[in-house]
Amino acid sequence: MAAADSKRLTAQRKRAACGELRALASELGVQDDNLRLDMTAEQFRRAAGRLVESCATPDQRRQLERAVNRYQNIVVPPLPGRAAENARCQGEEAGVEEARRTFRLRATGCLFTYNSADFRRVVWPEFIAWLRTLNFLLRWTATMEESLRSLVAGRLHMHVFMEFKQAVDWTSLQSVLFQGVTPHASPCTARGPSVRDALNRGHFYVFADKQGTLEVATSGWVPWSDYSVKGWWIDNLWTEHKLRHDVYLDYACKIRVGFSGLATAVESAQSIMVRCAFQQKQQEIAGRLELLKRPFRPDVLEALRPWANQYAELKMRYKFLVLRGGSQTGKSTLAKFARRRFWVEFQREEHGYILFDNVNHMDFVLNERALFQLLRAAFVLERAGGFKVLRGWGELFLPEGFRAAV
């Protein structure tokens, strides 16, 4: 009976893993008629291998790894510092002792992160010299980076991806302590044919010139010379804002496949970012200038009310507003303020207004009244050469997108 139950549970586990693989393939838009709930181990391995390069996000890759591990009944041990789902709440001393008993690292490769407030640039040569003494390593890639998210300015940390000569089975990290610092371990959980690509990706993640990178060294295992780099590796780093645009383009050029499309995407992103930064700077300066303004006198605002109230009625012609005063007395500011103060229902998408600034003589106003009142019979608004052109008795050129108040 026990054997029958075990067989039934195994079948259920494999069918669940096949279901997860089919769901992921559907999400990725991959069509495969062989994706069934009763796949053999060989069919499952091939299907998982085909989905590896289609995974574009870390979540999708983790979903694929979970499906593979479930099918092969591989239990991934919890990482150091992360409790298992069924972990019990214990006192501090008991917790440390429990971690020593339950921690286990089984992997052919692992990413170790060393973090200490005492690290300085001078530690780097010592770190590399120490790595070269570890005879259980087949190859390694290391980097020193600034901790950009740290609240302590200038804090540093180090990554090293270690590929072991033989798969390790450790119950502690005593073998990789550096100057008394216990690293955070992120083991490579890939199995089967995908192991080599997963190990290479671990090496490249450390090798890549990410934001904050200060130093990089390898044991001689170099990307593009010793192993190829997948396009989605750099795509993920770029979308996570870990790569600068120029570094991403340099790597994309070396990968070669799809470079023209990637270059266009980077140029578009840069253009939008520059425009957004410019607009943000404009808003910041406008906010600072707003603080310099003094409130208008109530009697001045009250004098504008009859002019503003006329727009509440439908008329054939409206009176235009002329503000006269000395230089830098706030005439233009008052005209713009009047729109916000009196025209509550003003909608920029539907309405427009024009501000004629620096009118040096009253004769211009008197002689061009038809221009200011925008009589439809006399003027037509057209577009020409990047400007809006008001054609009538003369031509008045306004920059495209110009808006002000009359």
Task: Compute, in degrees rounded to 10, the torsion defined by CA atoms 31, 37, 38, 42.
Answer: 50
Per the model's pLDDT, the better-predicted residue between 255 and 339 turns out to be: 255
Query: What does each C-alpha distance from 50 to 32, 36, 72 come to in angstroms?
Result: 10, 15, 17
Average confidence score pLDDT of the chain? 75
Per-residue pLDDT, averaged over 282-301, amounts to: 80
Q: What is the mean pLDDT of residues 208-217?
A: 94
* pLDDT at res. 398: 38
Q: What top-level class would CATH report for the domain 102-226?
A: alpha beta
Residue pair 353/339 in contact (Cβ under 8 Å)? The answer is yes
pLDDT of residue 272: 67
The DSSP letter of residue 99 is: H
Higher pLDDT: 165 or 46? It is 165
Q: In the predicted model, is pLDDT for residue 315 greater than 80?
A: no
| Strand order across the beta sheet in which 105-115 lies | 184-187, 105-115, 156-170, 137-146, 213-218
Which has more pLDDT, 80 or 176?
176
Beta strands per DSSP E along 219-281:
none
Give the model's pLDDT for residue 262.
64
- pLDDT value of position 211: 92
Q: Look up residue 171 and give its two tokens.
A: 């119950």
- Domain locations in the chain as residue ranges: 2-71, 102-226, 229-292, 317-399
> 137: which 2 tokens?
């390593």
- Report CA-CA distances (Å) from 166 to 112, 141, 191, 326: 17, 17, 15, 86
The sheet carrying 387-391 orders its strands as 380-384, 387-391, 395-399
